[in-house]
């Protein structure tokens, strides 16, 4: 009852300089002595419960449960392993072909990230990509993907394969970086890949976070000659008016 009252109170809009601001609380609850026999343990377990409230969508409360610590420990372990994965060459790329519906030859490929851990084996992307996004590791991992995918396509072309697009997924955190366009230009220059053979796939939610800024970044990438695609279109809160402003070449519905 108390947690519900706190959430209700903090959900009330706050007006600052004529702007209406909103916030959503995440509350973790632990109970003495069931969840700890001393103050430090009770607070630590309440903090664990709070993070579970955040992962459950925020604006809610969670009571501490013993299995939360197990999940948190497992997540931290996976995060630490992921931090070492690049240096230890555990990441790899596989390539999914894309076809024109009227033809039999691939028109491009999409680079998909995989993690082959020496002990745990193949760790699926839905386990490690969210952790990479949350911790910011997606930025160096994304740069690794971009550099290696561009090199691979250049190697294929040099080996006599007909040129086709290499599609690479870009996260919202990558797109927010000021040096993102420079990073793309650097990967193209280092690999020698023609810009028109690179396609960047950006999710609808990423471009809608800050549409005006996204338009400027996409326009700059487009002037570089890079092909642009909006991924997962229709899963979020799209604005068709904004969509017309985005200089995109492909729309993935």
Taking residue 63's Cβ as centre, other Cβ atoms within 10 Å add up to 18
Tens of pLDDT, residue by residue, the chain (253 residues): 999 999 999 988 999 998 888 888 999 999 999 999 999 999 999 999 998 898 888 899 999 988 887 777 788 888 999 999 988 999 999 999 999 888 888 999 999 999 999 998 999 999 999 899 888 999 999 999 999 999 999 999 999 999 999 999 999 889 888 899 999 999 999 999 999 999 999 988 788 778 888 889 999 999 999 999 988 776 665 567 667 778 889 888 7
d(CA 3, CA 118): 45
DSSP category for residue 21: E
Please give the Cα distance from 241 to 104 (Å, whole number): 35
The CA dihedral of 107, 247, 217, 22, to the nearest 10 degrees, is: -110
Sign of the dihedral through C-alpha 167, 210, 179, 244:
positive
Tokens of 70: 């197990």
DSSP string covering 113-126: EEEEETTTEEEPHH
What is the predicted pLDDT for the residue at 252? Answer: 83
pTM above 0.85, yes or no: no
Phi, psi of 120 (to 5 degrees): -85, -10
Listed residue (26, 30, 58) closest to 45, CA to CA: 30
* Alpha helices (H) in the chain, listed in sequence order: 2-10, 39-55, 66-85, 125-135, 138-158, 172-176, 180-191, 204-209, 211-224, 240-245
Distance of CA 246 to the CA centre of its chain: 20
Calpha distance 245→253 (Å, rounded): 18
Judged on CB neighbours under 10 Å (0-12, 13-18, 19+), 128 is: buried
């Amino acid at each position: 009852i108390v947690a519900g009252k706190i959430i209700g109170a903090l959900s009330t809009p706050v007006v600052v300089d004529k702007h209406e601001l909103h916030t959503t609380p995440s509350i973790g609850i632990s109970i003495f002595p069931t969840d700890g026999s001393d103050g430090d343990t009770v607070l630590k377990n309440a903090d664990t419960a709070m993070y579970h409230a955040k992962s459950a969508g925020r604006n809610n409360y969670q009571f501490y449960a013993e299995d939360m610590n197990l999940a948190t420990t497992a997540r931290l372990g996976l995060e630490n392993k992921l931090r070492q994965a690049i240096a230890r060459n555990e990441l790899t790329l596989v390539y999914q072909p894309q076809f024109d519906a009227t033809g039999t030859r691939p028109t491009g490929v999409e680079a998909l990230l995989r993690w082959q851990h020496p002990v745990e084996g193949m760790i699926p992307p839905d386990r490690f990509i969210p952790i990479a996004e949350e911790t910011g590791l997606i930025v160096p991992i994304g740069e690794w993907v971009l550099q290696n995918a561009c090199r691979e396509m250049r190697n294929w072309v040099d080996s006599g394969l007909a040129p086709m697009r290499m599609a690479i997924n870009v996260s919202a955190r990558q797109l927010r970086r000021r040096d993102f366009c420079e990073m793309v230009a650097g990967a193209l220059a280092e690999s020698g890949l023609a810009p028109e053979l690179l396609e960047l796939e950006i999710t609808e939610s990423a471009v809608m976070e800050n549409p005006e800024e996204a338009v400027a970044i996409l326009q700059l990438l487009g002037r570089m000659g890079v092909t642009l695609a909006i991924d997962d279109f229709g899963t979020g809160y799209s604005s068709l008016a904004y969509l017309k402003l985005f200089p995109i070449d492909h729309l993935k519905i």
